[in-house]
Amino acid sequence: MATSRVYQQHGYYHPDVAIDREEYDVRAISLLAVLRQSEHVDAMLGSARLVVGDPSPVFRFPAYDAFDFELPASLRVFGVSQCVEVGRVVSERAAGMGLGGLLTPLGLIQTVSLYSQRHDIRGGLAIIKRRFVEGLSRLGVRFHEIEGARLIYPHDAPMSPYFYRHRDPVALVYWLVDELAPLAELAFSRLADARSLAPLRESARNDRESATTTAGQPQ
C-alpha cells in the first residue's frame, strides 16, 4: 500500500510532496493487513510502520521530531529496545470511525501485540488522530495520552497539514503490551468472525522483517 498516496488523499501532506522517505524507514518493520481474495491474489487493506527502539545513545523515536515530551515512567522501567513506535497507519477501506471502519486498524493493533509478545517488547508510542483514539475507546481499547506533550513539528515540513491544518487533531499516546493485547483481541473478536481469519504470517521486507495479518473472505 502506498502510504504517501493515502496521506495525500486525506490532505496530510503538502500538495507538492510525492514521496516521503526518512531515516527510520530503513530500519522499520512493515505491518500489513491483507484480504485473501484467492490463492494467488491479495487485496491490501491497511499498513503501519513499526520502529523498534535501539539502545544506542543517539537513537530517538520519531515522535521526538514532532513533540517535546518526557517518556512516561511506565515505559522508562523497560529498556529502549523493549519499546516501539507505531506510525504511518493507513486503512484503505476505513470509511469513518464506525465499527466497520475500525476493523482493519484493530487487526493491525493485534499484529503489533503479537509481534511485541514474540520479541519481548513491553510497550510503545504512537502519534494518532484523536478521533481514532476515541473510536477505539468506545470498543474498550484504551490508550494513555502523554500529559504535557507539546507539539513542535515544523510548520514547513512535509506533514505539517497532518498536524496543523486538519480538523481532526493529533494525540501522542503510549500503551503497555500486557494491557493492550487482551483488549484488542476482545474488540476484534466482536467485529469479525474469527473462523474467517487465516493465521498471522510474516515475510521479509525493508531490510529487516515484516509482519502480515491476512483476513479471508467471509464464509
Going along the chain from its start, the domains and CATH numbers come out as 3-216 (3.40.630.30)
Helix pair 177-191, 99-118: axis angle to 10 deg = 140
Question: How does pLDDT run across 79-117, given as a tens digit for each residue?
Answer: 999 999 998 877 765 444 444 567 778 888 888 998 999
What pLDDT, on the 0 to 100 scale, is given for residue 193? Answer: 53
Residues in the chain: 219
pLDDT confidence of 208, banded at 50, 70, 90? very low
What dihedral do alpha carbons 204, 206, 209, 210 form, nearest 10°? Answer: -80
Determine the average pLDDT of the residues in 149-161: 90
**32 or 114, which is more confident:** 114
What pLDDT, on the 0 to 100 scale, is given for residue 25? Answer: 75
Handedness of CA 75, 80, 82, 83 (dihedral sign): positive
Distance CA 156, CA 73 (A): 32
Of the chain, the percentage scoring pLDDT greater than 70 comes to: 67
What pLDDT, on the 0 to 100 scale, is given for residue 110? Answer: 86
Record the cell numbers describing residue 213, joined without a space.
Answer: 495479518
Question: How does pLDDT run across 113-154, given as a tens digit for each residue?
Answer: 989 999 999 999 999 988 889 989 988 999 999 999 999 999
Record the cell numbers describing residue 191, joined without a space.
Answer: 467485529
Phi, psi of 125 (to 5 degrees): -120, 160
Residue (of 46, 24, 51, 205) closest to 121 by Cα position: 51
